[in-house]
Amino acid sequence: MELPEVEVMRRDLEKEVVGRRIKDVDVRPQRNAMRIIRRHARRKEFSDRLAGTKITKIDRRGKYVVLFLDDGDALVVHFGMSGQFVRGTRRQPLPQHTHVVLEFAQGGDLRYIDPRTFGEMFVTKSDELGKVKELDHIAIDPLEDTFTWQEFSYELARRGTKLKPLLMDQRFVSGLGNIYSDEVLFAAGLRHDRSSDSLSSQEVRRLYRAMRETLQDAVRFRGTTLDDEAYVDLFGKPGEFQSELKVYGRRGLPCRRCRTPIDVVKIAGRNSYFCPQCQS
């Protein structure tokens, strides 16, 4: 999941689970379920803090989702490489790799599924969220209104590194991975290997706008589901942004803007797609 998919998840959770009371929490018996709640010593310690509470609000901080509870606690979730929530009911069998099930007093349950178990969830006091170091220095959030192009410009000039790895650096921008960094650079007309301190102010504005618009569009289309179907939404449905992708995964296909074949290079071992004509 990159940022748009996490935001789609946050919005769905807001509609689906706010106001629901958690009746029971089941941390599944397999050993790697403990990896998901690794900040807690025991299953019971985690479930006891959640059982009986009501979910009051859902927030997102970068790629973290925070579920606020009516007793002053908060459940913090990071989906890692392959984690996701899916809604279910007791009658539906648990999918493979389900590690935690939050059963509601009314209205089914919420399952946390994660094949690779890099994701995690933990409970903390909501007034101590500021002490959680991963939530403390969250970088620029392209979906937040608080981030201005002047700030962005200052940060780009200060770094002086190649654009693609910089956009994927989670300390710089939250939530851009391999897919959206390629799409943002195409939308901005900039090459992956341009140095961030070489941009004109017009190019900075283009990149700023491309970042916001690409991610907003991706949220509108409910995220990107590639052929591996690694991402599905809260209801198990794939996103639709994959059919909107301009460069990612389109090696050799004609550019949607100029018909030049899309080119690919390896950056840090992963394919990076761009149009040699439209991006400079």
Interface ranges with Zn ion (CB under 5 A): 255, 257-258, 260, 275, 277-278
In three-state secondary structure terms, 69 is strand
Burial 113-136 (b: 16+ CB within 10 A, else e): bbbebebbbbbbebeebeebeebe
In three-state secondary structure terms, 109 is strand
Give φ, ψ of 148 to 5 degrees: -100, 160
Residue nearest to Zn ion (CB): 255
In three-state secondary structure terms, 178 is helix
- Least gap, CB of 276 to Zn ion (angstroms): 8
Nearest to 97 by CA among 25, 31, 3, 22: 31
In terms of CB distance, is 124 or 277 closer to Zn ion?
Answer: 277
- Least gap, CB of 163 to Zn ion (angstroms): 17
Residue carrying the six token digits 């990159």: 2
Tokens of 275: 């149009």
- Least gap, CB of 168 to Zn ion (angstroms): 22
- Least gap, CB of 258 to Zn ion (angstroms): 3
In terms of CB distance, is 85 or 186 closer to Zn ion?
Answer: 186
- Least gap, CB of 185 to Zn ion (angstroms): 12
In terms of CB distance, is 105 or 258 closer to Zn ion?
Answer: 258
Number of residues written out for the chain:
280
- Least gap, CB of 259 to Zn ion (angstroms): 7
In terms of CB distance, is 1 or 210 closer to Zn ion?
Answer: 210
Nearest to 280 by CA among 206, 180, 169, 178: 206
In terms of CB distance, is 67 or 278 closer to Zn ion?
Answer: 278
Tokens of 98: 């389900």
In terms of CB distance, is 101 or 255 closer to Zn ion?
Answer: 255
Query: For the chain, give me the number of helices (H) and strands (E)?
Result: 8, 10
